[in-house]
Amino acid sequence: MDSHGQNEQRVVWTVVGTDIGPLLLAATQDGLVNVVFHATDAVRDRTLDRLASRLGTEPVEAPDSPLLAEAIRQFEAYFAGTRRDFDLPLDWSLISGFNRQVLRELASGVPYGSVVGYGDLAGRVGQPRAAQAVGVAMGSNPLPVVVPCHRVVESDGGIGGFGGGLETKRKLLALEGVLPEPLF
């Protein structure tokens, strides 16, 4: 509690090494709130500034935090190929409206090893003409990998875009058996 008797928001973070490069994981008492690709020093600093602004508190580096421990374990197991689904509490406070609706549908309705088209996902949330808006929702996903925006592809068979870069998307889809492993 703060000096006014209010519960103070706590944000903890760490960077973990993965097969797709360093990921920044941030969590609140409500759950995992942010996953950020390519967590170099510059990306990390921008992310922490944005989180502080959006959540109203300075994030604290805490790699041993109980709030992050299970997320770290599950990411390690996912990249080792021994976990197919994430079972983590999620803090959805960085996203709202249509984007949150689309991402929740994606998280619950597109399992490991499968893909869905942008238009198909739009139809699942009752907006069949909103394929472009689904693309915007994918680009604003604060919880990539856990909320698997890498599983959303173009209806013509194209891989589509990806905030973490197309090579990262290919690696994630290969890990899940959707694409063959790259030759080099």
Neighbours of 110 (CB within 10 A): 19
CA angle 166, 160, 124 (to 5 degrees): 130
Selecting among 95, 149, 152, 173, the annotated active-site residue is: 149
Distance separating alpha carbons of residues 51 and 45, to the nearest angstrom: 10
Q: Is 149 annotated as catalytic?
A: yes
Helix (H) / strand (E) element for 94: namely none
Q: Which helix (H) or strand (E) holds 49?
A: helix 41-55
For 68-76, the CB contacts below 8 A with 24+ separation are 68/12, 68/13, 68/14, 68/25, 68/27, 71/25, 71/27, 71/32, 72/14, 72/16, 72/25, 75/16, 75/18, 75/23, 75/25, 75/145, 76/16
- The residues annotated as belonging to the active site are 149
